[in-house]
Amino acid sequence: MEILVCVKRVPTVGGTIAVTPDGQEVDTRMSGFSISPHEECAVEEAVQITERAGGSVSVLTLGPEAAIEQLRGALALGAGRAVLLETDGREFGPIATAAAIAAEVRDHGYDLVLLGNEAADTGDYQVGIRLAHELGWPVATGIKNLSTSADGVVARREYRGVEEAYELPLPAVITVKEGINLPRYPSLPGRLRAKRAAVDRSSPAWAAEGLRKETLRVPASSKHQAAVLGQGADAVPELVRVLDELGMLP
Amino acid sequence: MSVLCLVEFDGAGPADASLRALTLGRSLGEPSLGAVVFADSDSVPASALADYDVTDVYVIEPGTLEGYAPQAWARVLAGLATETGATAVLAAGTDRGNEVLAHLGAITGLPMAANCTLVTPDGGQTHRLVRHRWAGLLLEEAVMEAPIALFTVATDAVSAVSAALPSGGTPPGPPVPAAIAVHVHKPELAEADLVVRAAESPASAGGASLATARVVVGGGRGVGGADGFAPLEELADLLGGVVGVSRVVTSEGWRPHRQQVGQTGTKITPELYLACGISGAIQHIAGCAGAKHIIAINTDPGAPILAHADYAIIGDLHQVIPALVEALRAR
């Protein structure tokens, strides 16, 4: 099976998140970059499928040249080919992103395209679905269990206490969520191979979209310091009083 | 001119997330607020919807469209939007709401803004909006130019406010007369819209109620291992709640992923979140910031979770929780 996995370079945020003074981007002076957990799982799932059923995994990202770091990360885990859709620094909206990925998919004849359910940063929840409509392929989203056969996949997720199973013919687009597997760590040979691997490049056209970002800000949060009720088990009577006051005790 | 809102059901009534979406939809100020419901028309709670100023209910019955089929649901919304002259179509920012509205965006070629907290008409085809980025850790202020504004409403941001219960603490007046029209809608659907359709069966167990639980007892790295969760389960039972966990707990394989609270897990909106042995990485805060009250139990007085909690106990959860369980049992 020929599989394409789409990943996105995003800042690694830890204890805090801040925006640049112009309110246009996340301040990354103090952070590294990574791909989201959903996408780490998409890469792992693709590698597992090809280990089982044969075929190969390609990994694609749309982003600046620096995103090659994230492509190499996926190559180290078992992807065989990397594609950079290089941007000029402008943020591509979900419509332009889906169109750019669709062009790559049309050129290469994949059976399956895997994406994360949503990007960690923009959280648009729609690139996979727009991609499927561009291609005329079926799509299932938020998937946490995937089984494959020669002519189709069965994709499963839970919703409001009900398990949903979707049977899709191939080719298809699937967006996955963390929890579908536990991603492996890269091996040393994998890392060496990734370092040497060639990266295919193209530069898709940016296009304006009907939804336009003006500024980003950190919410005027409820951030405050907790009232300390006490130390250790001695604080339990006070905790019980607070729980009662909040109406939490039956 | 109308606003259309996809309304989901949770057990007997409209889902809380859908009521929040209706609250935002009503604020757009169009004369008609339509609820689109995929259910048997006998089970539609018209008066509950009338409380949210819904004027029209469009019911798509199981005989017409069996089960959940995201693209077909979006096709139905697209048709109704044309028929009713909709200026906006919205849904709750749930897995289904985001999925159906994304399909609607793709079908119509229009932009879709996911997880909005505020949407305001700004003349002509312009809406100004505020939406979540980074699962709500950042807010984006944006402008949408589109003949129909498509968006979902963050499940943990906008409060559901019934029109029958005016703000300001005045007691509810007599019930609002149900001036609400129920239309049984029979859309034309193409085969292609029905290719992807859910076969539903009861889920294994647990987790499903995490998103809507009234009390969540959270466990993190401080729990120490897979065998350390029994006291948390016991406490959750006593408080009528469920156990949720941080990402490290699921990455270590101590608990199943469906119990994860956070950006890549479940976003919770309980009355009370009791965070035990959880340091409070920002991705975890994204999942629990919708809790009304947060109480942290942590050995580290400098843990980031304390900056998001209302109350804290500085101490080892392995001592505090058994003592709390004992105290609650003694009541």
Tell me if chain B has a CB within 8 Å of the CB of A42.
no
Residue in B137, B196, B200 nearest the CB of A140: B196
Query: Residue B224: its pLDDT value, please?
Result: 96
- CB-based contact (8 Å) between A8 and chain B? no
pLDDT at B164: 67
pLDDT tens for B89-104 read 999 999 999 999 999 9
- Among the partner residues A16, A164, A233, nearest to B68 by beta-carbon distance: A164
Interface of B with A in 70-109 (CB under 8 A): 70, 95-96, 98-99, 101-103, 105-107, 109
Residues of B in contact with A239 (CB under 8 A): 295, 311, 313, 320, 324
Residue A104: pLDDT band (50, 70, 90) is very high
Which residues between 180 and 199 in chain A have a beta carbon less than 8 angstroms from any beta carbon of chain B? 182
Nearest chain B Cα distance for residue A217, angstroms? 5
Average the pLDDT over A176-180 and give the result. Answer: 96
Taking contacts as CB-CB distances below 8 angstroms, the residues of chain B near A210 are: 110-111, 144-146
Q: How far is A69 from chain B (nearest CA, A)?
A: 21
Residue of chain B minimizing CA distance to A140:
B196
Residues sharing a CB contact under 8 Å with residue A131, sequence separation 6 or more, in sequence order: A98, A101, A102, A105, A113, A115, A139, A173
Q: State whether A226 and B247 contact (CB < 8 Å).
A: no
SS3 A174: strand
Q: Which of A30, A39, A126 would you mutate first to test chain B, the one with the most B CBs within 10 A? A: A126
The reply to whether B113 touches chain A by the CB within 8 Å rule is: yes
Collapsing DSSP to helix, strand or coil, A196 comes out as helix
**Residue from the list B132, B296, B304 with its beta carbon closest to the beta carbon of A15:** B304
Reference A71, options A205, A201, A204, A203; nearest CA is: A201
Chain A nearest-CA residue for B302: A225
Q: What's the CA gap between A94 and B84, in Å, rounded?
A: 27
Assessment of whether the complete model's pTM goes beyond 0.90: yes
**pLDDT tens digits, one per residue of A41-92:** 999 999 999 999 999 999 999 999 999 999 999 999 999 999 999 999 899 9
Per residue in B259-315, pLDDT (tens digit) is 999 999 999 999 999 999 999 999 999 999 999 999 999 999 999 999 999 999 999
What length is written for chain A? Answer: 250
> How far lies B240's CA from each of A250, B210, B213, B231, B236, in Å?
8, 12, 9, 14, 6
Task: Please judge whether A13 and B327 are an interchain contact, meaning their C-beta atoms are less than 8 angstroms apart.
Answer: no
Nearest CA in chain A to B322: A233
How high is the pLDDT of residue B207?
45
Q: What is the nearest CA distance from A59 to chain B, expressed in angstroms?
A: 21
B177/chain A closest Cα distance in angstroms = 32
Contact call for residues B246 and B218 (beta carbons, < 8 A): yes
**Residue among A35, A125, A145, A170 with most chain B CBs within 10 A, to mutate:** A125
- 8 A C-beta contact, residue B224 and residue B246: no
Alpha carbons within 13 A on the beta-carbon side of B102: 32
Q: Are B264 and A37 a contacting pair, CB within 8 Å?
A: yes
The pLDDT, as a whole number, for residue B169 is 46
Contacts of B328 in chain A (CB under 8 A): 240, 249
pLDDT, one tens digit for every residue, chain B (331 residues): 899 999 999 877 899 999 999 999 999 999 999 999 999 988 888 889 999 999 999 999 988 898 899 999 999 999 999 999 999 999 999 999 999 999 999 999 999 999 999 999 999 999 999 999 999 999 999 999 999 999 999 998 888 898 865 554 444 544 545 589 999 999 989 999 999 999 998 876 544 489 889 999 999 999 999 999 999 999 999 999 999 999 999 999 999 999 999 999 999 999 999 999 999 999 999 999 999 999 999 999 999 999 999 999 999 999 999 999 999 999 8
Mean pLDDT of chain A: 95
Q: Which chain B residue is nearest to residue A177, measuring alpha carbons?
A: B264
| Beta carbons of B201 and A163 less than 8 Å apart | yes
| Nearest CB partner across the interface for A162, out of B144, B202, B304 | B202
